[in-house]
Amino acid sequence: MEKRLHPISEFVNRLIEEKGFGDVDTDVLRQIGFDLTERVEERINAIILENLPPEKLEEFSFLLDSADAEHIQAYCRENIVNLDELIADALVRFRDTYLNAS
């Protein structure tokens, strides 16, 4: 059975491939992947905080401290209209900016 990568890891791996780093050392590529993953996660978190209704922020903060990722994702989907579209749009913009940077 093939192990499936996390969607953010898949996205980051595609970005690295598309950027075409050539003969870069494996450790450097690993660090690039780590840095990109952090930046993508930060962007997703910002989208969530920007779009979560203000009256839900306290409850969300409590969930971050006490719930697992699955419950947190479900809460976000319940309370943010078009969450998947917002995240997809942010990732497309992130990709465009990253690939077009020198």
The per-residue pLDDT for range 53-89, each reduced to its tens digit, is: 999 999 999 999 999 989 999 999 999 999 999 999 9
Cα–Cα–Cα angle for 87, 45, 74, rounded to 5 degrees? 70
**Scanning the structure block, which residue is given the tokens 């840095």?**
35
Query: Average pLDDT in the 10-38 region?
Result: 94
DSSP one-letter code for 81: T
- What confidence tens digit (pLDDT) does each residue in 42-56 have? 999 999 999 999 999
Residue 26 forms part of a structural domain? yes
Q: Examine residue 55 and state whether it is found in any structural domain, yes or no.
A: yes
Per the structure, the complete domain to which residue 95 belongs is given by 7-100
Q: What is the pTM of this model?
A: 0.85
Is 1 among the domain residues?
no
Domain count, the chain: 1
